[in-house]
Amino acid sequence: MTELLARRQTWSTVNCSIAAAFEVVGTRSAILFMREAFFGTRRFEDFVRRVGIGEPATARRLKELTEAGLLERVPYKEPGQRTRHEYGLTAKGVDFEPVILALLQWGDAWQADDAGPPLRATHQDCGAAVHVRVRCEAGHDVSPRDVHIEEGPGLITVAAQAGESEPYREEAERL
């Protein structure tokens, strides 16, 4: 990892997975809409009320999340009313749940006031607290210090510019 991080200046960021994720959910309102979808909010007017932004902004954000494939519009019709749409999580949206839970867990640990966290995530079957953990495919819990960054098949490299030969050498050596 030291060598790879030492040459970070040669990595192209055009296909960065983190940047791509933020293109979809990189706003406060997008995260709050996803939170609400996980909590069961389905209807437009409920998103407006629960997230606390105006109808035009809600319409834009729901359209963006739908176009990105995290939510889907599902038609419904109440007796005597026109057909309307509610929003449900797609498989891609459901896969975003660990991000929401990680933000909840971090906020509980670092941002909650003295009264404690306002919500608790628990396992429906046994009632135990749910925690987001980093685990390897072999099933080991992995601490942040034990995460090793390797070159992936999609890494694009570019030539370093003059004067940027190894600006991260000292930081990489500490890792």
Q: Report pLDDT digits (tens) over 43-84.
A: 999 999 999 999 999 999 999 999 999 999 999 999 999 999
pLDDT at 168 over 60: no
C-alpha distance from residue 155 to each of 11, 13, 24, 104, 158 (Å): 7, 9, 21, 31, 10
Alpha helices in 84-156, H assignment, sequence order: 91-94, 97-110
Whether 130 shows a pLDDT value over 60: the answer reads yes
* Model confidence band, residue 8 (pLDDT cutoffs 50, 70, 90): confident
Say if residues 121 and 128 touch (Cβ distance below 8 Å). Answer: no
pTM: 0.83
Return the structure tokens found at 40: 């069961």
Q: Could you count the other beta carbons within 10 Å of the beta carbon of residue 154?
A: 8
